[in-house]
Amino acid sequence: MTHADIRALALSLPEAEELPHFDRPSFRVRGKIFITLPPSKDGRDLVVLKLPPIVKESLQQTDPDAIVSLGAWEKPGSGWTQLDIGRMDSETLADLVRLAWRQVAPKRLIAGRANDRDL
């Protein structure tokens, strides 16, 4: 998956929009960020997703090299998770993008889409 693939998927989700966040693109639902696309680091393409802390913990256990530290922005329990896109398979990463959207989307918006397989 590439940044372009992530952008297309993020923008396909209900009410998602792309807006700048400092020096990077961000994707939001009703003003709440669920993904940012930071610049490449050490030759790796990255994505930052808003995930449930338990999912982040699971990723740390199953593939600790896929997670890239957020440095000073690392806040325990916040769920913000920076991943090396190249270490993730496309299906898993797509599921994480959808999960990040669900983390910030209003409950009524999620409930209205409960039958959508892709959410």
Confidence class for position 29, pLDDT limits 50, 70, 90? very high
The confidence score (pLDDT) of residue 72 equals: 66
Residue 5, judged by CB atoms within 10 A of its CB (0-12, 13-18, 19+), counts as middle
94: Cβ–Cβ under 8 A, 6 or more apart, which residues?
1, 9
54: Cβ–Cβ under 8 A, 6 or more apart, which residues?
none
Inform me whether the pLDDT recorded for 106 exceeds 70.
yes
C-beta of residue 29 within 8 angstroms of C-beta of residue 106: yes
Q: Which residues partner with 18 through β-bridges?
A: 27
The confidence score (pLDDT) of residue 58 equals: 92
